[in-house]
């Protein structure tokens, strides 16, 4: 009886993926405890965030992909309208206009766009029966450009690029021609010097610092320099949990959020990093498998994009903390402290699970 109820409750939860997520979230709590200077309050707060995020995951997993397909357009339009509202009436914090005050709380519409963007494009190609015609790609490109431009204007370069890439994944999986991809790559490289020459001196300086943190060791470069020292000094097996000197001696900034990977890396070393990369790889492979088995154009494009987007976040964060990518404000998925990004991530995983568990129903 109880096992039946259990089966019924979790019939749309993918046990394999769920186990992976469970391990990642458990890791997050351990690293956070260390990064926050043994703060139980932080752990408690993040546990609450996880509860909310997993509930969202459960709810979304129970919604069929067909229903998701029907709300894709609405979500997209709503997202764009909210972004316009942000541009017009948004509140400013740290020099950027990203939040919308709706009385009792503040919302960040760019978060909604992370899911709405791939859904919209997946819907668009599904409704065109997946035909990779040039016109379709031009229209899709425009649909992608509008929110990306609005978010770039906030300014939030990191998020806008990641949303652009989530849309790009749909285009790529829908069959964007190789010739076009090659052409875009070449023209992008060709435009670089022209773009560079159009910048002001101080803008150039900022970009240079982005790529070479040692140019500004007291300012923007400080984060990266300290993070690399933390990672490097972790060695093969790490200094051990709660023993990272860089971490515990306040050298590392933003330890619980964007730079949490440096904490993990210092305390668990190369071995820990490899395990984490493996865990992320397994999650990504599972997602790609779900995408390849999905039975509608919408489902597979969406599943593919969500999975690859998860990869982008992980890669960009670890890349920036270890100094091979410029520093942009991107948290490490599933590990960094913070509710919003966790909820968005779990929403994505919920969709993946929904696509996976509903396919048999369609087949039947």
One residue of 98, 286, 300, 358 binding other proteins per CB under 8 A:
300
Say whether residue 33 binds other proteins (CB under 8 A). Answer: no
Torsion of the alpha carbons at 145, 146, 151 and 157, rounded to the nearest 10: 10
The DSSP letter of residue 105 is S
Instruction: Please count the residues of this chain forming the interface with other proteins, following the rule CB under 8 A.
Output: 53
Query: Which of residues 63, 146, 220, 279 is near other proteins by CB under 8 A?
Result: 220
Interaction of residue 228 with other proteins, rule CB under 8 A: yes
234 half-sphere exposure, CB direction, 13 A CA radius: 28
Give the integer Cα–Cα distance in Å for 148 and 137: 16
E strands present in the chain: 91-93, 96-101, 106-107
**Is the Cβ of residue 55 or residue 243 nearer to other proteins in the bound state?**
243
User: Please, which residue, 59 or 324, has the CB nearer to other proteins?
Assistant: 324
The yes or no reply on residue 277 touching other proteins (CB under 8 A) is yes
Of 183-202, which residues contact other proteins (CB under 8 A)?
Answer: 202
Residue 51 or 235 with smaller CB distance to other proteins:
235
DSSP H or E run through 283? helix 260-293
State how far the Cα of 261 lies from the Cα of 278, in Å rounded to an integer.
15
Does residue 143 bind other proteins (CB under 8 A)?
no
Write phi, then psi, for 98 (nearest 5 degrees).
-120, -20
Among 216, 241, 242, 282, binds other proteins (CB under 8 A): 216
Q: Which residue lies nearer to other proteins by CB, 108 or 322?
A: 322
Q: Which stretch binds other proteins (CB under 8 A): 62-70, 189-197, 276-284, 329-337?
A: 276-284
Strand partners for 92: 97
Residue 32 or 230 with smaller CB distance to other proteins:
230
Cβ(336)–Cβ(46) below 8 Å: no
Does 58 contact other proteins by CB under 8 A? no
Question: Between residues 11 and 205, which has the closer beta carbon with respect to other proteins?
Answer: 205
Six token digits for residue 25: 């979230």
Spell out the alpha helix ranges (H) of 63-133: 65-89, 109-127
What single string gives the DSSP state of each residue in 130-159?
T---HHHHHHHHHHHHHHHHHHHTTT-HHH
| Contacting residue, 23, 58, 137, 172, with other proteins by CB under 8 A | 172
Q: State which of residues 39, 233, 257, 340 lies at the interface with other proteins (CB under 8 A).
A: 233
Residue 329 in contact with other proteins, rule: CB under 8 A:
no
Taking CB under 8 A as the rule, does residue 230 contact other proteins? yes
Q: Which residues neighbour 7 within 8 Å (Cβ) at sequence distance 6 or greater? A: none
φ/ψ of residue 91, rounded to 5: -90, 145
Q: Which residues would be at the binding site for other proteins (CB under 8 A)?
A: 94-95, 130, 169, 172-173, 175, 202, 206, 216-220, 222, 228-236, 245-246, 249-251, 265, 269-270, 273-274, 277, 280-281, 284-285, 288, 291-292, 297, 300, 304, 308, 311, 315, 318-319, 322-324
């Amino acid at each position: 009886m109880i096992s039946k109820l259990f089966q019924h409750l979790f019939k749309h939860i993918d046990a394999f993926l769920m186990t992976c997520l469970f391990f990642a979230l458990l890791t997050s709590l351990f690293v956070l405890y260390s990064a926050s200077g043994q703060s139980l309050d932080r752990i408690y707060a993040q546990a609450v965030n996880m509860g909310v995020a997993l509930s969202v995951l459960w709810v979304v997993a129970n919604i069929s992909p067909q229903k998701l397909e029907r709300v894709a357009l609405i979500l997209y339009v709503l997202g764009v309208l909210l972004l316009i509202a942000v541009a017009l009436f948004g509140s400013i914090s740290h020099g950027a206009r990203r939040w919308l005050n709706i009385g009792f709380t503040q919302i960040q519409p760019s978060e909604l766009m992370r899911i709405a963007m791939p859904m919209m494009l997946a819907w668009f190609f599904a409704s065109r029966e997946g035909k990779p015609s040039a016109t379709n790609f031009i229209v899709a490109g425009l649909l992608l450009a509008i929110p990306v431009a609005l978010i770039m204007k906030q300014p939030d370069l990191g998020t806008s690029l990641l949303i652009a890439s989530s849309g790009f994944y749909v285009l790529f999986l829908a069959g964007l021609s190789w010739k076009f991809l090659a052409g875009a790559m070449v023209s992008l490289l060709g435009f670089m010097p022209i773009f560079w020459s159009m910048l002001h001196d101080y803008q150039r300086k900022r970009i240079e610092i982005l790529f070479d943190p040692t140019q500004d060791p007291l300012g923007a470069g400080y984060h990266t320099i300290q993070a690399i020292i933390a990672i490097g000094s972790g060695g093969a097996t790490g200094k051990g949990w709660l023993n990272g000197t860089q971490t515990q001696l306040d050298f590392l900034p933003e330890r619980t959020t964007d730079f949490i990977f440096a904490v993990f890396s210092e305390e668990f070393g190369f071995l820990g990093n490899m395990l984490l990369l493996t865990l992320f790889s397994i999650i990504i492979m599972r997602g790609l498998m779900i995408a390849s088995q999905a039975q509608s154009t919408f489902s597979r494009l969406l599943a593919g994009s969500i999975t690859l987007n998860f990869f982008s976040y992980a890669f960009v964060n670890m890349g920036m903390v270890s100094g091979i990518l410029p520093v942009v404000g991107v948290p490490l998925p599933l590990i960094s402290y913070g509710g919003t990004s966790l909820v968005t991530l779990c929403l994505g995983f919920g969709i993946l699970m929904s696509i996976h568990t509903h396919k048999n129903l369609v087949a039947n």
